[in-house]
Amino acid sequence: MIPLTAFAGRTLAVFGLGASGLATCRALAAGGAEVVAFDDEPRKLAQAQSAGFTVADLRRLDWSGVAALVLTPGVPLTHPAPHWSVGLARNAAVEVIGDIELYCRQRRAVAPDAPFIAITGTNGKSTTTALVAHVLAAAGYGAERGGNIGTAILSLEPPHRGHAHVIECSSYQIDLAPSLDPSVGILLNVSADHLDRHGTLRDYAAIKERLVAGVQPGGTPIVGVDDNWGQAAADRIERAGRRVVRVSVRRPLADGLYVEAEQVMRAAGGTARAVAHIGGIGSLRGLHNAQNAACAVGAALALGLSAESIQAGLVSFPGLAHRMEQVGRQGSVLFVNDSKGTNADAASRALASFTDIFWIAGGKAKAGGITSLAGFFPRIRKAYLIGEAADAFALTLDGHVPHAVVGTLDRAVALAAGEAAAAGLAEPVVLLSPACASFDQYPNFEVRGTAFRDLVLALPGLKPIGAG
């Protein structure tokens, strides 16, 4: 835990008492602050009260003595309308921040030179966060990962020199961190997502850009430039007088990192040399993972790691569950769990990684459906459609891809496994990459991915591979 001593003697209101909210309460109390906590769910209120925190309805709070409202990232700050607690705080001229901001202020107060690697992007940020932390740890560097990847940032060890915090940041978290200032910031990519919470793609992209634009003096912003938003962000940061490490997996760069022939190339001063090789690493299969790896290489280089130690970390990376996770093989059939592919852009990265695909897709549809995936349709032998989006997806696929509306994941796995095995192909792939949220049938993508994994592992003759 990180005691928030920078807030000693001050009163802070905390709304939202999930894992990160409770971690915030503990960190503030341990640092000597007064905490007033609230949540709309009685169960969470009871949990906070039993942990010894003051619980009070913020609608009846005297805000005149409150230094800040610490808001859980899951609560709307701006769109579709600010949460009622945000309105109360703003009416009292009380700033609204999140736990990432608390961490940043504490780090600046006690250990401004502690390595802080912050990572964002529409897709790939969890894998990149895990990969950076793994590469650092494999090289003997003290490293912890946290933030949006699952461990609340304030539950980590206190920041100190020689100990790196590798933090995944969602757009919601960045929106609540106005002074976010990592020593290394990574912006992987930007595509349409979470527009219900940010209003427009331009607003969403601007929030993502803040993570790299705010890198502390002497730090390293690393920006993927294969989309227009990233390219524009890199240009703006450079015009502001900062050196940017650009990253591309689509073209050579005169200055920066790019991927060519499964090698990460470092270009500078008109020359380029290979600094890492990613070919044959199962956990880094696909162009999207090449981008993740190149950005991770950039972060490791910024922290002074050698090419040899970086390579060793890449090779030993086990991958993350539900993100291009190779579950196992049944004969020649490979089963891949990409349940985290919750939008068409994410699914495109998985579809681009294989040929002869038996694709399981569907769930709660995102805006645009799967029309943008038409370029990948020739790779798909057959699609098995589940959930609310099944009928709409079937209309898109009509005349282009053989498909069956099967409704549920268990039926999809059984049919896909049988038809892939009977197809007589060298390496057919049964791929769960739904291009949809899970909420119509599952609480989250993790539960959906676990269900897929369990169904696959129960198939006769299945040889498990595990994550990666």
Residue 131's H or E segment, with its range, is helix 125-138
> What's the confidence (pLDDT) of residue 282?
81
Closest of 14, 184, 26, 211 to residue 116, by C-alpha? 184
CA distances from 363 to 392, 437, 455 (A): 11, 6, 17
Question: Residues 338, 438: contact at Cβ < 8 Å?
Answer: no
**d(C-alpha 301, C-alpha 303), whole Å:** 5
Give just the sign of the alpha carbon dihedral 240, 241, 245, 250.
positive
Write the burial class of residue 59 (CB in 10 Å: 0-12 exposed, 13-18 middle, 19+ buried): exposed
User: Which residue carries 């240009």 as its tokens?
Assistant: 235
Question: Between 3.80.30.20, 3.40.50.720, 3.30.70.3000, 3.40.1190.10, what CATH number should domain 101-315 receive?
Answer: 3.40.1190.10
**d(C-alpha 422, C-alpha 125), whole Å:** 37
* Architecture in CATH for domain 325-457: Alpha-Beta Complex (3.90)
The one-letter amino acid at 403: H
Q: Where are the domains of the chain?
A: 5-97, 101-315, 325-457
Q: What is the pTM of this model?
A: 0.84
The one-letter amino acid at 283: S
> What's the confidence (pLDDT) of residue 76?
86
**d(C-alpha 451, C-alpha 334), whole Å:** 17
> What's the confidence (pLDDT) of residue 363?
97
> What's the confidence (pLDDT) of residue 468?
39
Task: Give me the CATH code for the 5-97 domain, please.
Answer: 3.40.50.720
> What's the confidence (pLDDT) of residue 467?
46
> What's the confidence (pLDDT) of residue 345?
86
Question: Residues 157, 182: contact at Cβ < 8 Å?
Answer: no
| 55 strand-pairing partners | 37
> For residue 464, what are its two tokens?
């498990």
> What's the confidence (pLDDT) of residue 258?
98
In this structure, the strands spanning 34-38 and 54-55 are parallel
What are the per-10-residue average pLDDT scores of the chain (468 residues)? 97 95 97 96 92 95 96 88 94 97 98 97 92 96 93 97 96 96 97 72 94 97 97 97 96 97 94 95 88 98 97 93 92 95 90 95 94 97 98 98 98 98 96 96 96 98 76
Output phi, psi for 276, to 5 deg.
-165, 150
> What's the confidence (pLDDT) of residue 286?
85
